[in-house]
């Protein structure tokens, strides 16, 4: 098990590894290695956040649920192109649950359905895609959230994704390992919540609505996942011990 002396030293170490592995991915390998898709054998859940009556953030007529669905579908296609088996939580504007819940239970039930889906598919990686909103419209940039007290695998995944997403979005936001999030708390596999950018920033909102920029985001996520898979092997990190979710159906979402 990896031990970090300080949060800053851990982040610098993982960032160095992520940078090295990104550069390494540009170096030609043998023909045999190139013939095998790099993410072959990886089961990845791509989650378009919210959906149905849960519209997420809403800014000037744009709903988060619609924006992230478009980005998620492009991301799923990019990961499939790299050899991954991809399971999408939704491909339309819908909830993940079959029965109509009470409004107070809607968010928790949808989140738990995502956790259950990952367990049923024995997923290796879980990516939840969202768009942010803030009262200060000047705030911008992509940010990755991996929950409180992440293990070494999740830290590496988050670091790889943050490096790639920052390169695309141009922001200077840092990996968040402090916020308590329902999905991060209940998933036991490498997982990350990807805030692609801020809908409350007019320029960034316009970019996120652009299909060409959505393609760039999808490719950044693909590179981040490949960086993680390389890093896990290079660092000889032990695989997660179980893919079973923690069953706490009475806990409200955070």
Query: What confidence score (pLDDT) does residue 17 get?
Result: 59
pTM of the model: 0.83
How large a percentage of the chain has pLDDT more than 90?
A: 68
Give the pLDDT mean for 65-79: 98
Query: What confidence score (pLDDT) does residue 33 get?
Result: 47
Above 70 in pLDDT, residue 249? no
Q: Please, are residues 194 and 129 in contact by the beta-carbon 8 Å criterion? A: yes
Q: Please, are residues 111 and 253 in contact by the beta-carbon 8 Å criterion? A: yes
Quick: pLDDT tens for 90-125.
Answer: 999 998 887 666 667 888 889 999 999 999 999 999
The CA dihedral of 128, 151, 231, 194, to the nearest 10 degrees, is 20
Above 60 in pLDDT, residue 242? no
Above 70 in pLDDT, residue 252? no
Confidence of residue 239 (pLDDT cuts 50, 70, 90): low
Query: What confidence score (pLDDT) does residue 247 get?
Result: 35
Domain boundaries, the chain: 8-19+38-234
* Topology of the domain comprising 8-19+38-234: Aminopeptidase (3.40.630)
């Amino acid at each position: 098990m990896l031990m970090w002396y300080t949060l800053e030293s851990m982040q610098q170490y993982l960032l160095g590894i992520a940078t090295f592995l990104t550069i390494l991915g540009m170096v030609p390998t043998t023909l045999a290695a190139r013939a095998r898709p790099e993410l072959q054998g990886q089961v990845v859940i791509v989650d378009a956040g919210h959906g149905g009556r849960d519209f997420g953030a809403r800014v000037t007529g744009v709903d988060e649920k619609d924006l992230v669905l478009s980005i998620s579908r492009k991301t799923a296609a990019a990961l499939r192109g790299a050899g991954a088996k991809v399971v999408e939580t939704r491909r339309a504007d819908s909830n993940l649950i079959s029965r109509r819940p009470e409004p107070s239970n809607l968010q928790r039930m949808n989140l738990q359905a995502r956790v259950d889906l990952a367990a049923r598919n024995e997923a290796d990686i879980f990516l939840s895609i969202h768009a942010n909103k803030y009262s200060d419209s000047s705030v911008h940039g992509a940010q990755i959230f991996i929950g409180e007290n992440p293990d070494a695998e999740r830290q590496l995944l988050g670091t790889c994704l943050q490096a790639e997403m920052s390169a695309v979005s141009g922001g200077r936001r840092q990996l968040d390992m402090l916020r308590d999030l329902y999905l991060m708390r209940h998933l036991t596999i490498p997982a990350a919540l990807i805030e692609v950018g801020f809908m409350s920033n007019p320029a960034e909102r316009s970019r996120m609505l652009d299909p060409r920029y959505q393609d760039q985001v999808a490719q950044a996520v693909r590179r981040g996942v490949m960086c993680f898979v390389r890093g896990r092997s290079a660092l000889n990190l032990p695989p997660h011990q179980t893919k079973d979710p923690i069953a706490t159906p009475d806990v409200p979402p955070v």
